[in-house]
Structure 1
Amino acid sequence: MKILNQILVLLAFAVTPVFAITIDGQEISLENNKVPIRAKTNEAAINAISPEFRFANQGALTVAVAGLNSPPLYMFAEDNRTLVGSEVDMAQLIADSLGLTLKVVPTSWEDWPLGVASGKYDMAISNITVTKDRKKRFDFVTYRKDSLGFFVKSDSSINEINQAEDIAGLKIIVGSGTNQEAILLAWNEENIAKGLEAFTPIYAKDDAAQSLALQSGRADAFFTPYVMGAWKISQTGNTKLVGQIDGGWPNAAHVAVTLKKGSGLVDAVQIALNGVMQSGEYQQVLSRWGEGQEALSVAEINPPGLGD
């Protein structure tokens, strides 16, 4: 009976495809968003590509995205073949600017660092935050503000998680190796030094497992990029936002295109992104996925990040 109940909870709270939702007042239509927004070729960006740079696939921009169901960042459309989302759209704008076809490769969070470093992928565009440690191995070009949110069950008695003391004794779903995890671990150290109870991390890799853990009470909250949590609220109504912080806590940090250190492509990507920011396609992409509040005015190379 216990196993049956777990299955029923999983079926009830797993996120199912919804093709028209509203986030922060912005209506999002997956049917309309299947058609990518395109950009013009940017000769200045093309000319900035180092002569030594070798693309993973000739004539194409090969981009890694980590995971298959992380809306609105990336997900399969209703045909279960077409990969859509804001990260896919952003990759398309860069590919167009560089005069290349786009090749998006779904992979795991654990795989993209080695894939980018080895040249298997030209870059990763997967909600990757600039951090001090990551800058030792990779070059970054920013394209979005990093905003994180704490979400709980809609009927939870927890109403606020905004600082270290708020996580004491809680069981929190978080992705392994993410900046969310780094923030929680730093907060936990503060709490232990003050004699407060430690938090317990819950590592659930997919959305269905996260929903089951939260709705069954095995976890008290989940800590995730704000736009992903807001998407889930719009789909199910089973969760609520109880806290929002910058991804570079205690400072602001940005999400960035991630490239192999010194590969010779970083300047070209910066020029490409600044070009679409000026021409408007960049804003169109973020707005149609409900991410307009995270837009930047300029793309930067290797700015301060988490840990700096």
Structure 2
Amino acid sequence: MIGIPVLRTVVTATVAALLHFSPAQADASFDLSPEQPGRVQATRNEKAIAAIPADFKFVAPGKFTVAVSPGGPPLATYATDARTVVGADPDYAEAIADSLGLTLELVPVAWIDWPLGLTSGKYDAVISNVGVTEQRKEKFDFSSYRQGLHGFFVKADSAITSIGEPKDAAGLRIIVGAGTNQERILLKWSEENVANGRKSIELQYYDDEAASLLALASGRADVIVQPHAQLVFIAARDKNIKRVGTLSAGWPERSDVAITTRKGSGLADALTIATNGLIKDGAYARILERWRLSEEALPRSETNPPGLPKF
């Protein structure tokens, strides 16, 4: 039987403040200024421009209007002026706009609002860490631009050096979010371990990020699993955890993050061509490197790639 104790830890405001700094306190290697002097610039891609359907109408003439949810660095967050949205996704949106010969119009939205806003024509696309799923493909088109990865991170002085398959996690105490895709995968890993005579995985659940990080720091847990990008930022910020592996959101298959557009709008192919142009000329790699997300690089973009199945 798989043990899944539900832990509840009361963390004082003082501890939370120590573990959860504001963006302005982030590691200096992440530029969260509104000016973004290091933002990667891209050049016009005539093939991508030619692929835009003649009857496609952008929300605003001459502009590429993109929705983004500022959920946190390094993907998208508010800059130190508390108004400008910066991060890997805004950088990528800017590069795509450059490729299409357009000016970027970035629209901050709540995550829950992007589907309705996109279908109602409020913006041309969503570039906000949206994972491709077979269910979403029924309503939207996709142009992939990153791998969807979860990260295995441990204390900086942990003896654990690598987690890449179920046997590597046998007997470990792993912090995971309840009801998440990574929980579903780790439950399968634990079942596989038990079936092969290895120890099960002990999954631990906490109420918030501060409590999770405290449990890891205090030795009550061995590993934390969250979306890879989030943990990359935390590792740079706190300097007390390290990556020991990554896990595809679609394990055992790859699962992609993609630019999302209205179903049948015809824009997806142009965005795929633009992305492949960025990959070919190196701008894509520079964007990911700037935000420490090189592990999430794709070899090529695809229109409507295989997505997570319905569970």
With normalisation by structure 1, the TM-score equals 0.77
SS of residue matched to 1:262: coil
| Counterpart AA for 2:272 | Q
1:295 and 2:297 aligned: yes
1:7 and 2:10 aligned: no
SS of residue matched to 2:134: coil
Aligned equivalent of 2:64: 61
Deviation digits for residues 84-119 of structure 1 (CA, Å, limit 9, x no counterpart): 211111000111122222121222222222222322
CA positional deviation for 1:153:
5.8
Contact 1:188 1:198 in 2 (8 A): no
Distance, in Å, in 1 between the alignment partners of 2:229 and 2:260 is 20
Aligned equivalent of 1:43: 46
Aligned equivalent of 1:305: 307
| Counterpart AA for 2:143 | V
Percent sequence identity over aligned pairs:
37
Contact 2:255 2:307 in 1 (8 A): yes
Alignment CA distance shift 1:163-1:108 (3 Å): farther
Distance, in Å, in 1 between the alignment partners of 2:234 and 2:174 is 20
Contact 1:246 1:253 in 2 (8 A): yes
Alignment CA distance shift 1:246-1:31 (3 Å): same
CA positional deviation for 1:143:
1.4
Matches within 5 A, 1:266-305: 266-305=268-307
Distance, in Å, in 2 between the alignment partners of 1:214 and 1:28 is 21
Deviation digits for residues 66-91 of structure 1 (CA, Å, limit 9, x no counterpart): 2342x211222322233221111100
| Counterpart AA for 2:210 | S
1:182 and 2:181 aligned: yes
| Counterpart AA for 2:273 | I
1:136 and 2:135 aligned: no
Aligned equivalent of 2:6: none
Greater Cα offset, 249-258 or 56-65: 56-65
Deviation digits for residues 198-233 of structure 1 (CA, Å, limit 9, x no counterpart): 95655x6xxxx412444268x956432223212211
Alignment CA distance shift 1:164-1:200 (3 Å): farther
With normalisation by structure 2, the TM-score equals 0.77
Contact 1:158 1:242 in 2 (8 A): yes
Gapped regions of structure 1 (runs ≥ 5): 22-26
1:89 and 2:91 aligned: yes
- What is the RMSD of the two structures over their aligned residues, measured on CA atoms? 3.6
CA positional deviation for 1:4:
10
Contact 1:15 1:232 in 2 (8 A): no
Distance, in Å, in 2 between the alignment partners of 1:213 and 1:90 is 30
Aligned equivalent of 2:235: 233
Residue number among 245, 248, 253 corresponding to 1:246 in the alignment = 248
Give the aligned length. 291
